[in-house]
Every structure is written in C-alpha cells, then in structure tokens.
Amino acid sequence: MIQRQPEAQGLVAYINARLLDPTTGLDAPANLTGGVLTNGEYIVDVGAELFKVGMPEDATIINCGGQNLAPGLVDMRIQISGRDFENVGISAVSGGVTTAVCLPNTTPVIDDRSVVEFVARAARKAGLVKIYPYGAITKGLEGQELAEMGMPNNSGAVAFTDATRAIANTRTMAQALSYASTFGLMIVQHPEEPSLAEEGVMNEGETATRLGLTGIPIEAELIIIERDLRLAQMTGGRLHFAHVSTGESLNLIRAAKDRGISVTCDTAPPYFALNETAVGDYRTFAKLSPPLRCEADRKAIIAGLKDGTIDAIASDHTPKSEDTKRLPFADAADGGLGMETLLAITLELVHNGHLSLLDALGLITQHPAELLGLPAGRLKAGAAADFIVFDAERGWKVSENNLHSKAKNTPFDGRPVQGRVLKTVIDGRMVFDVDA
C-alpha cells in the first residue's frame, strides 16, 4: 500500500477518471480520452479530451477505472508527536493528504530559523507528505515575548501561531498582529480563553452536568474572538481563527468580514460531524480541544461551511499514545487522529446534500492552499504532480484495523463512512496504492 519510489517516472498518463479541480471548476466525466499527463515531478496537462488525438507513445498508462481524480488534500493543521515524521507521512498519504502544515509545538519548538529548516529537511528525508511549518508567535510558546517572525518566514514558515495555546495577553496579541502585518504574515489563533477553560474537560451543559464533568463554556471561545477582532481592526493585521466550534463565533466572524476586517477561519470534521453526546459514558477518544459542542452548534458549523463564513477544513490531526488516552476522562489527553478520515468525513457534507463535491473538495484543497500561499491544491499544467484518485461511494468502517497511524485515537472510531483514497501521487511518485 505505502510505496517509496525513489524518483518520479517519465511520462505517465492517468486516464478514465472523473477530473475534479475546485480552482478552475473542472468537473469532467471519466472517459478514455481525458485525464492527466505527468512528466517526472510535474503535471504536463489536464483535460477532458487530452488524449483525443492519441496517447504519447512512451507514456506509462494508468487506468483509474472511472473513479475521481482530484488535487491532493492540503491539511492546514496537524501536530507531529516528537519527531515522528515517518508515521505522520504514512498517515497522511493513506488519507490522500499530499501537503500538510505542522504546528510549532514540536521538539524543539519552531521558534527560530534553524528549527524551521530542520522540519523541512526531516520531511524531505521521510519521502512522503510535503510538510510546511508554522512558526511560533512567542518564544517557547510561553505567550509573553514575541519570537522572530521575519527570519523564519524567509526560511519557509507559512504563518504564525502558538499552536494549542491562545495568546491570552492582549498587548502581546496586538504586538503580534502589528508586527506580522509589516511582513504580510497571518496570525493563527487558538480561540480559547485559558482561565475559563483550564479546569474544563468537555462542553459546558446538560451532558457535562449528567456526567459530573467540569464544562468549558462557549464564552471561552467567544471572548478571544471578540477581543482579537478588535485588535485586528486596530492593527490592520491578518487574523485567522483555528477550529471554530460554535454558532455564535461564526456570527462574530461573519459580521467582521462584512465590516472589511481581514479575518478568516477554519473548522475540523468533529465539529460538523459530531456533537457532545459522542462523549457517551466517558469516551476519551471524543475528548478534543476545543470540546465537542451541542447539536445546535454542530448545525451552525454546517451552515457556516455552506455560506462561506468558514474558509477551510483542517483535520486537526493530533496523535496520542494509548497511555495518554486510556485514562479517566478528566485526566486523558485532548485530541484525535484526523488525516486518514479527513476526506471521508468531509464527503459526508456531500452525501447529506449540504455541499457539492467540488465545493467540499475546495475546503480541503484550494482554500487552505490559498490561505497559506502554498503551491498546492490544484490540477494545472506546470504544477507539482500532487493528486489523488478516490472512490466517493466506497464504504468502510473507521477502526483500529483500518488506520495506518501508530496511534489510534480517533473520535470517529466505529463510524461507518463513505469515501476511500485509492491512490496518492506526490511529485509524480505513487506513494500510496490500495492495489499494490
């Protein structure tokens, strides 16, 4: 299944595939005369009638069997456990993720140029998914002294965030937005007021009360969003909110966009596919940050995806060891795997009639790539040959046996889903193939 071709082949023709590209609006039915032609690491051409006058004589032909061919997924938020780039790569390519952006809470923290360069080298050495790093906003992710942004940006940091920690100090956040704006950089905030959230372990409400668990109120998210929107307006900085989880948050962001504030946001699959009842009887796989919210908030997140208030979907991939999840709920670690289920759960928006296939794919390809200025997420002549072949209808069950990651902590454990990656191509190399 996982393949490690040392280098891309010469001419390769991918034929008989439904071609899907959200960037151009391409949606061409599968046929034997259309497809994608690659040469080494790059796409030569794409089209519904690309091979109408004949196939290049020396091309290797790959018949996609009428399945969907789309840009590789662009995951704008993952966490890397320690330095395990190998395991991250395996999880990514099996889920169709060809480009991922890692949070700076690595070991060591990505708060200077040398660590940015280390992450890029380590990802290349693993030879699977392309990984770009976020830089830290503050030194050591401690929320006080600003880290250097100019130099790490020049070395490849695509934006700046303190990962799973909110910048709670208002002056520090204002300085970060102001400083970043001089370089045209984006500040990514984890919107959760620490003092309101620090004792909580799930969403505040009836379910938490019934289970005897301390809740995290939605106000923890709202307070940070309201404050930072004011700061973005004051400084002219470019602000992005990660994993937005409540309807009221979206109302604030929607109004701010209407006022011309430079703000964007993303969400993650658990917040439109699950609600707080997934915690069940203290199910730690459903312990996330931010926590799963109520059903009304879940529906509001879907509405935000439909009307464009939410700009992208990120997996929020957070691998955890069994030892940190097999604990009493209050003591268990936050987070869940996300890359291997990103496509299938996003496709639920299509199967349930909320979004078109192209619109759903755009949220996990084109939009995150454009937000971060990445050369990814499109099928275009001259672009890197990064794409996937997938069956949007193929059913499977999320379970330990069907996940490639060493960690197995997914909030979707046991869930029947539709949508399976069949092939993943990165720089013209077939790195994942279910038929291999």
Does the global pTM surpass 0.95? yes
Report the C-alpha gap between 424 and 430 in whole angstroms: 6
Task: State both tokens at 292.
Answer: 């799963």
Report the C-alpha gap between 59 and 15 in whole angstroms: 11
> If residue 348 lies in a helix (H) or strand (E), which one and from where to where?
helix 342-351
Report DSSP state, residue 285: G
Residue 30 domain flag:
no
Q: What is the band of 154 on the pLDDT scale with cuts at 50, 70, 90?
A: low
Domain range for 79 is: 72-372
Residue 34 domain flag:
no
Residue 134 domain flag:
yes
Active site residue 316: yes
Question: Residue 68 in 3-state DSSP?
Answer: strand
| Inter-CA distances, 342 with 43, 90, 418, 431, Å | 25, 14, 11, 18
Q: Are 370 and 311 within 8 A, CB to CB?
A: no
CATH for 367: 3.20.20.140
Of 134, 152, 131, 117, residue with least CA distance to 85: 131
Q: Are 278 and 228 within 8 A, CB to CB?
A: no
Report the C-alpha gap between 431 and 213 in whole angstroms: 44
Q: Kindly name the residue from 75, 297, 316, 427 that is annotated as catalytic.
A: 316
User: What percent of the chain has pLDDT above 90?
Assistant: 85
Residue 422 domain flag:
no
Report the C-alpha gap between 77 and 171 in whole angstroms: 26
DSSP 21-54: ETTTTEEE---TT-EEEEETTEEEEEETTTTTT-
Residue 296 domain flag:
yes
Q: For residue 4, is pLDDT > 70? A: no
Residue 427 domain flag:
no
Q: What is the band of 101 on the pLDDT scale with cuts at 50, 70, 90?
A: very high
Give the model confidence (pLDDT) of 394-424 as tens digits.
999 999 999 999 999 999 999 999 999 999 9
Could you give the number of structural domains in the chain? 1
Question: Residue 249 in 3-state DSSP?
Answer: helix
Task: State both tokens at 161.
Answer: 């965030």
Give the model confidence (pLDDT) of 137-153 as tens digits.
999 999 999 998 877 77
Looking at every residue in the chain, the average pLDDT score rounds to: 94
β-pairing, 135-136 vs 160-161, is: parallel
Residue 88 domain flag:
yes
Q: For residue 213, is pLDDT > 90? A: yes
Q: For residue 81, is pLDDT > 80? A: no
* Residue 7 pLDDT: 73
Residue 51 domain flag:
no
